[in-house]
Amino acid sequence: MSRQSKEHCLAHLVYTSDLHGNLDLYRAAGEAAVRTRADALIFGGDLCPGTPTGASLRLPIDHAEFILYRLSPLLGSWKQAHPALRVFAIPGNDDCQTVLPALAELEMNNLIENLHQETRTLGDYTLVGLSFVPPTPFQLKDFERWDDAPDRDSDSYSYRCVMGTPRGFTVIEDFRSYLDSLPGIEQELRRLQVKDPRRTVAVIHTPPFNTACDVLFDGSHIGSKAVRTWIEKNQPCLTLHGHIHESPRLSRSFCDRIGSTTVVNPGCDHAQPHLVFINLDNPSELEHSLYGKKTLR
């Protein structure tokens, strides 16, 4: 096989995000990847069901068990139907950090590859990933960090903040101090090495600020400024995001451009598959399972 034809064979992706444990949506994604003989299926975060409440003290345990016992059989069936398929994933801000050892266990069995803070190769392409999002109004804080700078003026950190552990939730007494003790998103992004931007794909749960991919229900842009700056500086060929479910519906686009980088957020409505079909040899031409084809100029 020639080098050119080999590259062409290793260039087709199916991407989706924010499935929140909906097995029907997982099945649809896997079936699409098998049907199209995709080289990779990528999940962009918020993998597991449920959110922290007083009645969900077992959620950190449930999240690990979802990965190990509910998701793994599906992964196995896709691999059996399409042995060449590679499956990549990152957690999102609605996932407890207890999913990380569960993903590592499945990775040892060649079922899935965790991209969070990692680098993987796919043919001649390099995949990098990051799960962290700027602080949200939600209780679970396992994958939250300061963005490009600490936000001292926000009053949204006065509620109960928790982290998941193998024994259940633990309360974060001082969320600002907790964030101060950790590297911010800007620092974490610096660790993602981009050697050849034309062959780099970044899977980052939070979308970049001020794009068609970060529009909240009220029309405001709430993406990451640090992610946008990183994209502007490094210009990877493609970045894949999620987090803001309603953004494509409100902005009327599931993709955008920052310089030469194609930016994607497939959206989520918890009912229908939101899948994006991508040929890495031409990432400016995309197809969404609901919104159809889109060509970026």
User: In this structure, is residue 217 part of a structural domain?
Assistant: yes
Res 5 pLDDT > 60:
no
CA distance 266 to 274: 6
CATH number of domain containing 229: 3.60.21.10
206 found inside a domain: yes
Q: What is the mean pLDDT of residues 161-165?
A: 93
pLDDT at 149: 85
Any domain includes 4: no
Q: How far apart are CA 174 and CA 170, in angstroms?
A: 12
pLDDT at 9 over 50: no
pLDDT at residue 204 tops 70? yes
- Tell whether 3 is covered by a domain: no
What length does the chain have? Answer: 297
Task: For the chain, give the percent of residues with pLDDT over 70.
Answer: 93
Please state the domain count of the chain. 1
pLDDT at 51: 78
Closest CA to 212 of 283, 263, 268, 286: 263
Per-residue pLDDT of 103-125, as tens digits, reads 999 999 999 999 999 999 999 99
Q: Got the DSSP string for the chain?
A: --HHHHHHHT-EEEEE---TT-HHHHHHHHHHHHHTT-SEEEE-S--S-----TT-TTHHHHHHHIIIIIIHHHHHHHHHH-TT-EEEE---TTS-TTHHHHHHHHHHTTS-EE-BT-EEEETTEEEEEE--B---SSSB-TTB---SS--TT--TTSS-EEEEETTEEEEES-HHHHHHTS--HHHHHHTS--S-GGGEEEEESSPBSSSTT-B-TTS-B--BHHHHHHHHHH--SEEE--S-TTHHHHHT-SEEEETTEEEE-----SSS---EEEETTSTTEEEETTTEEEE--
Is position 189 within any domain?
yes
Cα–Cα distance measured from residue 13 to residue 55, given in angstroms and rounded to the nearest whole number? 38
Please say whether the beta carbons of 113 and 106 come within 8 A: no
pLDDT tens column, 45-66: 999 998 776 557 899 999 999 9
Q: Say what the pLDDT of residue 53 is.
A: 64
Looking at residue 160, its pLDDT comes to: 83
Q: How confident is the model at residue 6 (pLDDT cuts 50, 70, 90)?
A: very low
pLDDT of residue 55: 57
- Over the stretch 229-273, which tens digit does the pLDDT of each residue have? 999 999 999 999 999 999 999 999 999 999 999 999 999 999 999
Tell me what the mean pLDDT of segment 1-10 comes to.
Answer: 41
Residue 276 lies in a domain: yes
Domain with 160 in it: 9-295
Look over the chain and give the mean of its residue pLDDT values, rounded to a whole number.
Answer: 93
In a domain, 2, yes or no: no
- Tell me whether residue 188 is in a domain: yes
What is d(CA 185, CA 204) in angstroms, rounded to the nearest whole number?
11
Query: What pTM does this model have?
Result: 0.95
Q: Please indicate whether residue 148 or residue 53 has the higher confidence score (pLDDT).
A: 148
